[in-house]
Amino acid sequence: MKTSDQEILTLIQDPLSREMGFRQLIQTYQKKVYHVIRRMVLIHEDADDLTQNTFIKAYHHIDRFQGHSSLFTWLYRIATNEALGFIEKKKKRFFFSIDDYQEKLESYVDQAGNLDGDQIQVKLQKALLKLPEKQRLVFHLKYQEDLTYNQMSEITGTSVGALKASYHHAVKKIELSLTSE
């Protein structure tokens, strides 16, 4: 565990400095947590809600944190759970709704300004959206965040072998998607 994590946890454990410690935890990890969620849900307003939920859950369950992993992998586990649960809920809701969540995300990618009009980025984001959510998450954790498979295994609770295979499939699908268009 990093020293800063230790300092944050020490502050949180003392009732007198608990709030200050938690504020420090938010300031340290807010950008990482926000971006891991934003990559999955794309829309800022959704990412904002889920980021806040992640930290609120962390606050209520911080006493259960054993320190066997880093605070960052523990927070990522909560954040990715929030994001995947949110997407699953949106897809189930589509049963009653006219708007398709997938289409909504694709049109968000198309909107001018969101990706500075970079056509390669638009194609790449659309290729990513075609992946199953968990595979997309594995791809981001490895390709964007450059996490080790062991860290990813801690976050997802999935074996290293399964994660390697998942990442390999994701890369192949993205390459195929980019070359076929």
Judged by beta carbon, residue 11 or residue 174, the one nearer another protein is 174
Q: What span, in angstroms and rounded, lies between the C-alpha atoms of 77 and 155?
A: 5
Among 17, 69, 81, 102, binds another protein (CB under 8 A): 81
Question: Cα–Cα distances in Å, from 5 out to 14, 37, 80?
Answer: 15, 21, 20
Among 17, 48, 70, 73, binds another protein (CB under 8 A): 48
CA dist., res. 24 & res. 158, Å (int): 30
Q: Does the protein bind another protein through residue 85 (CB under 8 A)?
A: yes
Q: Which helix (H) or strand (E) holds 148?
A: none
> Counting contacts by CB under 8 A, is residue 1 touching another protein?
no
Burial (CB count <10 Å: 0-12, 13-18, 19+), residue 88 = exposed
Q: Which of 1, 4, 56, 103 binds another protein (CB under 8 A)?
A: 56
Who contacts 41 (Cβ-Cβ below 8 Å, separation ≥6)? 47, 50, 83, 86, 87
Interacting residue ranges for another protein, rule: CB under 8 A: 19, 22-23, 26-27, 30-31, 34-35, 38-39, 42, 44, 47-48, 51-52, 55-56, 59, 81, 84-85, 88-89, 92-93, 96, 114-116, 118, 120-121, 124-125, 128, 132, 134-135, 138, 143-144, 156-159, 162-163, 165-166, 169, 171, 174-175, 178
